[in-house]
Structure formats: C-alpha cells, structure tokens
Amino acid sequence: MSIFKELGLSQEVVDSLIELGYEQPTEIQKISIPQILGSKDDLKAFAQTGTGKTAAFSLPIIEQINIASKNTQAIILSPTRELAIQIANNINDFSKNLKGLNVLAVYGGANIEDQIRSLKKGVQIVVGTPGRTLDLIKRRRLELDSIEWLVLDEADEMLNMGFKEELDKILESTPADKQTLLFSATFPKEVESIARNYMHNAVEISAGQKNVGADSVSHEFYQVSDRNRYPALKRIADVNPDIYSIVFCRTRRETKEIAEKLIEDGYNADALHGDLSQAQRDMVMQKFRNKNLQILVATDVAARGLDVDDLTHVINYKLPDQAENYTHRSGRTGRAGKKGISIAIITAKERNKLNPIERKIKKKFVQAQVPNGKEICEVQLYKLIDKIHDIEINEKEIKDYLPDIFEKLQELDREELIKRFVSIEFNQFLSYYQNARDLNNDDRPEKRRSGDESMSRFYVNLGKMDNLTPARLIGLINEHLKKRNVEIGQIEILKSFSFFEIDKNYADDIIEKLNGGQFNNRRVIAEVTSKPKSGRKKRSSKGFGKKDSNNDRKELFRAKKKYKSGAGVTRRKRR
C-alpha cells in the first residue's frame, strides 16, 4: 500500500501522485495531510523552502472539495504570479484523475475580464496574488460565502513585499468559520502577528526547527574588496565548471549589470528582474529550468516561484537586508535530498552582517579562499579531458571525412595530437589567468565613487522606536505608492528617524503620497535630504561619531523646521 494512501488520500489522488513520480511523502506532508484531513482547527506550519509545502496543503483540500458544487471553496494566496501559476499547475496535476475539479490562478498583469469569465463558469479553488484577489473580492466577482479554506503560502514573503494591507482586508472579508492554513519558511514577528489576529486555537506544526537553515546546505563566504566582487564571482564560476546557480543581487539595476557582464565575458547567463514582461520572464525561467542557462542573476522578488531542484550553488553577490531573506535564498539549493552550497561575497566592512544570519540559521559560515589562476586552470583542464574521454562518437556522420583528416594529421604523434586538441579550448584560460593576482586580502584603498545620481535620499520621522525595519519601510513605501517595482537603495534605520534612497523618478510621489500617512498610529513625515559626504564615517548601530551625530541632528532639525513652517512637503501638497 502506498504511504500516501495511509495518510488518508483517495486512490484517485494516490494514482496521480504515482504517475507524477511521488514515492515518499516529505516530513511536512506526513504531518500536515492527516492534520488537515482530520481537523478543522487552524494550522501554522513551518517548513523550509523546497520541502513540498504545496502538496502538504493542497492534497488534503483536494480530498475534501465538494466537486458537485461549482462554488469557490478554497482561496490560496501566494506572493508572486509565478508561484500562483505553479501552485495551480501542481493542483491540476494532483487532481487529474478527478473529473469536475476546476482551479484558477488570478494575478496582476493578466486580463481580469478573462479571470472573471472563468469564475462565472465555476471554480472550486482559486490561487492568487493578494492584490488581484482583493480586486476581485471588491468587484464582487469572487464570492466568499462558500469559502472553507484560506491558505497563506510563503506568508513571510508576502509581508516582506508589502502585502500586509491586502492580507488584512482579505482575511477580514472571508467567513469566520473557515479553516486558515498558514505556511511559511520563516516566522518573523509580522507573521506571528497575523496568526494572533486572524487565527483561533491554531495548531502549530514544524518540519525542522524554525528559522534554521537546511542541513543539506553548507554556508561559505569569500572576503574581497568591493572592486574585486565581480572578478571573485567569475572565479567561483570558473572553478565549478558544472555550476547551476542563482546569483542574488539587491536591485534590478545591479541584476542587469551583472548579467550583462557575465554574458559579455562568455558565461551562459541571463537576468530575471521586475523590468521584464511576463513573456520574457517565462522564457528566461523556462531556459533555466531546462538547464540551457547555467547562471541566473535575479532579485529576491523575481526568483519567487522559481521551482528548481538541482541547484548546485546559491551565490549572494550582495547580502540581503534581512536574515530571513538569506534563509529563503539559501533554501533554493540542497533540495530533494541533494547537497548544496550557499556563498556570500562580502567585503571586510560587511563581515559583521554574517552574525545575525548565523544566529538565524544556527550555522556558521566557513571562510573560503578565492581560487587562484593555477587552481582554476587545473580544474578546467581535467574537465576538458573528461569531456573528450566521454564524448559519444558518431561514426556514421563523420566516416566520410576521416580519411582526409587522418592524412592531414599523420605527421603528428599521439602526444603531440593530444597537446594540440587540449590547447584549442584551454589556451583561453591559460592566457586569461596567466599572472592573475590574488583577490584574497586585497586591502588596497579604493577610490571613492560619487553617490548614485539616479537615487534620491529621504529622511523619514520613523525609526527603531517605532518598530520600523527595512522590510516594514519597503512595505510602507509600496503601500502608499501602489507600486511594487520601485527601486529602493540604501536604508538606514536609526533610533528615532531613518534614511532611505529611492529612484529619483518617484521622489515627487513619495513627497505627495507618503507624507501624512500613518504608521503605528504616528503621522509620517518624509523629506528629501542631502546624501552623506563621501568621507563620512559610517554609523554604528550603537551610536554615532561626534561628526555624524551633529550632521544627523542638523538634518533632523532642518526637516522638522520645514514641516512646522509649512515649507517643503506640506506646502507642495497645498499647491
């Protein structure tokens, strides 16, 4: 008897799983499926990325859906359209032996009228992003009377992306007697807050420890100067000829720049970011899934919903602002029982950023040395030899050419012939890495670059005393701009106020829409401020240098003075 059958699933569903190649349930599936089938209690479930959460909540829902009714009985919310589409496709696969079960993915960027027409025909399970789902609810096109299950998948990521307002409204609109299922890879305070406010007597289950990195993933860091960050990335790729990796960058601009450099340097790479159309994103993701790409350069948001089991490496070109995001990144490798490596490329000044991540994942980073030219050439040479040794010879296609080839090469002995064939492909590595310098411990002073002229710097009257975090600040900006693709640069959260950089094209929108807003019952004041001087000492989280303290107090004083006098943001609003 199938183990899935023993969990309480019907033969039709079990047959679908067998056809899909599912042999053994994962730990989270073993715990979740019987719990959801046997109880109407709300459920908080923790499981790391790549452990089969989709099947854990969708299989028991499929089992209990009333197919005879065309009413919508389950809503599944996910942070991105890619993940929503993936979940809907998985449910269709799981239920392919059940006639009459209809599933619909709803998300922004697609024609809402087509989605409305599908809802009218009858859909038992709706999988959607929070924004489009709420839009359909407001239009009274998504009926809620028959909702029995509401699933929050990747709840932590939805909050990181600024969807709190939408989630609150959706949860408030659904029937009180539904079963709420919250699945998340990490459980920050914001996720716990949703659980407290909208779940009742929730059962909590966990496959592994909360907020801990997967055992199958090792964590390494390479310490280089900032100017050597990209050369170090190339050497990491070169010393791993079979690399199949996602390289994570912090911004869309950086993602495009790094991908373009890799492509120009001959690497099999491409970019995934918010500026791509849906068709372009689908094409890039399909190429990566099919392994026509070895390296995918992506932002955190763009990579959500990218389901790949065989990644050898995850490379953090820049560390994320929050430790939770590192957990998501690293969880994309070491899946399906395989080993993976998560790499961080850092500078000496960034080394302290590893400490909170280590506390979160309960693992230590191991420092690795950037390989030198000799090490890379050795690896590449033996890879080439293996390739020549293992190549499949198609004698039928080449036999007519062999006599002429033998004649041309008859003067060369075996050793000379091998040398020449190896040199054809290998000479480029020898020439590139000849006399290559050591990238480790390169502490030569770097020339200071002027600030990014495409970004505007803002002061905001919120800080750590208001429980402001980088993620909550990003959510606040997204909430008031009603856009989720605005590029945000450096964020500094201080005690009673903060600074952030944003694409200067949206500076006026920030002044107009963020000012006067509310955050934790406090009125928001935002003001354009000058960028710090290049030689300015970096602030520590414990306090400021004398010069820094004076400068920041001056900026705070100027912002408050403008606000009180009716100048700046208030006057602009009045006009």
Residues 6+ apart with CB under 8 A from 569: 511, 515, 525, 526, 527, 562, 563
Q: Is pLDDT of 534 > 60?
A: no
Residue 490: how many other CB atoms lie within 10 Å: 16
Identify whether 202 is part of a domain. yes
Strand blocks (E) in 408-474: 455-460
172 and 227 share one domain: no
Name the burial class of residue 129, with classes exposed (0-12), middle (13-18) and buried (19+) by CB atoms within 10 angstroms of its CB: buried
Three-state DSSP class for residue 161 = coil
- Lowest mean pLDDT: which of 191-205, 222-236, 244-258, 441-455? 441-455
Q: Is pLDDT of 463 > 60?
A: yes
Q: How confident is the model at residue 541 (pLDDT cuts 50, 70, 90)?
A: very low
Q: What is the pLDDT of residues 327-338, one digit of tens each?
A: 878 878 876 667
Q: Are strands 103-106 and 125-128 parallel, antiparallel or unpaired?
A: parallel
Task: Give the CATH number for residue 311.
Answer: 3.40.50.300
Three-state DSSP class for residue 153 = strand
Place of tokens 């929503």: 84
Identify whether 445 is part of a domain. no
Q: How confident is the model at residue 392 (pLDDT cuts 50, 70, 90)?
A: confident
Q: What is the pLDDT of residues 152-161, one digit of tens each?
A: 998 877 877 7
Judge whether 35 and 109 are in contact, CB under 8 Å: no
Three-state DSSP class for residue 460 = strand
Q: Of the candidates 188, 207, 226, which is a domain's last residue?
A: 207
By percentage, how much of the chain surpasses pLDDT 70? 85
Q: Is pLDDT of 479 > 70?
A: yes
In angstroms, the CA 282 to CA 319 distance is 26
The more confident residue out of 555 and 376 is 376
Model confidence pTM above 0.85:
no
534 and 389 share one domain: no
Q: Is pLDDT of 304 > 60?
A: yes
Q: What is the pLDDT of residues 491-525, one digit of tens each?
A: 889 989 999 988 887 888 888 888 888 888 889 99
Task: Give the CATH number for residue 560.
Answer: 3.30.70.330
156 and 288 share one domain: no
What is the arithmetic mean of pLDDT over 212-217?
Answer: 66
The more confident residue out of 166 and 422 is 166
For residue 137, CA distances in Å to 159, 243, 555 come to 20, 45, 44
Q: How many domains does the chain have?
A: 4
Q: Of the candidates 371, 390, 424, which is a domain's last residue?
A: 371
DSSP letter at 466 equals G
Residues 6+ apart with CB under 8 A from 97: 12, 13, 15, 16
Q: Is pLDDT of 50 > 70?
A: no
In angstroms, the CA 503 to CA 317 distance is 21
pLDDT of residue 341: 94
Q: What is the pLDDT of residues 351-360, one digit of tens each?
A: 999 999 998 8
54 and 165 share one domain: yes
Q: Which of 273, 272, 248 is nearest to 333 (CA)?
A: 248
Provide the H-helix boundaries in 164-273.
164-173, 189-198, 229-238, 252-264
By percentage, how much of the chain surpasses pLDDT 90? 39
Q: How confident is the model at residue 483 (pLDDT cuts 50, 70, 90)?
A: low
Identify whether 438 is part of a domain. no
What is the arithmetic mean of pLDDT over 282-311?
Answer: 82
- Lowest mean pLDDT: which of 86-95, 281-290, 370-379, 441-450? 441-450
In angstroms, the CA 48 to CA 181 distance is 16
Q: What is the pLDDT of residues 111-129, one digit of tens each?
A: 999 999 999 999 999 999 9
Identify whether 53 is part of a domain. yes
Name the burial class of residue 514, with classes exposed (0-12), middle (13-18) and buried (19+) by CB atoms within 10 angstroms of its CB: buried
Residue 190: how many other CB atoms lie within 10 Å: 20
Q: Is pLDDT of 324 > 70?
A: yes
Question: Beta partners for 344?
Answer: 221, 316
In angstroms, the CA 508 to CA 528 distance is 9
Q: Is pLDDT of 168 > 60?
A: yes
Sheet holding 455-460, edge to edge: 488-493, 498-503, 455-460, 526-528
Strand blocks (E) in 333-485: 340-346, 366-367, 455-460
Question: Beta partners for 367?
Answer: 221
pLDDT of residue 503: 82
How many angstroms from the chain centroid is the CA of residue 530?
31
Average pLDDT of the chain, as a whole number:
83
Identify whether 480 is part of a domain. yes
391 and 476 share one domain: no
In angstroms, the CA 334 to CA 471 distance is 26
Name the burial class of residue 499, with classes exposed (0-12), middle (13-18) and buried (19+) by CB atoms within 10 angstroms of its CB: buried
Q: How confident is the model at residue 148 (pLDDT cuts 50, 70, 90)?
A: very high
Q: How confident is the model at residue 436 (pLDDT cuts 50, 70, 90)?
A: confident
Dihedral sign of CA atoms 537, 539, 545, 551 in order: positive
- Lowest mean pLDDT: which of 42-46, 166-170, 207-211, 304-308? 207-211
pLDDT of residue 453: 67
364 and 383 share one domain: no
Identify whether 263 is part of a domain. yes
279 and 420 share one domain: no
229 and 171 share one domain: no
Phi, psi of 212 (to 5 degrees): -115, 140
310 and 235 share one domain: yes
Identify whether 442 is part of a domain. no
477 and 523 share one domain: yes
Q: Is pLDDT of 401 > 50?
A: yes
**Which DSSP string do the residues of 480-504 spell out, in sequence order?**
HHT-S---EEEEEE-SS-EEEEEEG
Lookup: tokens for 317 = 């070109």
Identify whether 181 is part of a domain. yes
474 and 355 share one domain: no
Q: What is the pLDDT of residues 412-422, one digit of tens each?
A: 888 888 888 77
Q: Is pLDDT of 279 > 90?
A: no
Helices 81-94/278-289 angle, 10° precision: 60
What is the arithmetic mean of pLDDT over 140-151?
Answer: 94
**Which DSSP string do the residues of 296-345 spell out, in sequence order?**
EEE-HHHHTT---S---EEEESS--SSHHHHHHHHTTSS-TT--EEEEEE
**Which DSSP string do the residues of 511-530 spell out, in sequence order?**
IIIITT-EETTEE--EEE-P
pLDDT of residue 262: 94
Q: Of the candidates 176, 207, 238, which is a domain's last residue?
A: 207
Residue ranges making up the domain that contains 462: 455-574
Judge whether 286 and 272 are in contact, CB under 8 Å: no
Nearest 5°: CA angle at 521, between 516 and 523?
A: 20
189 and 264 share one domain: no
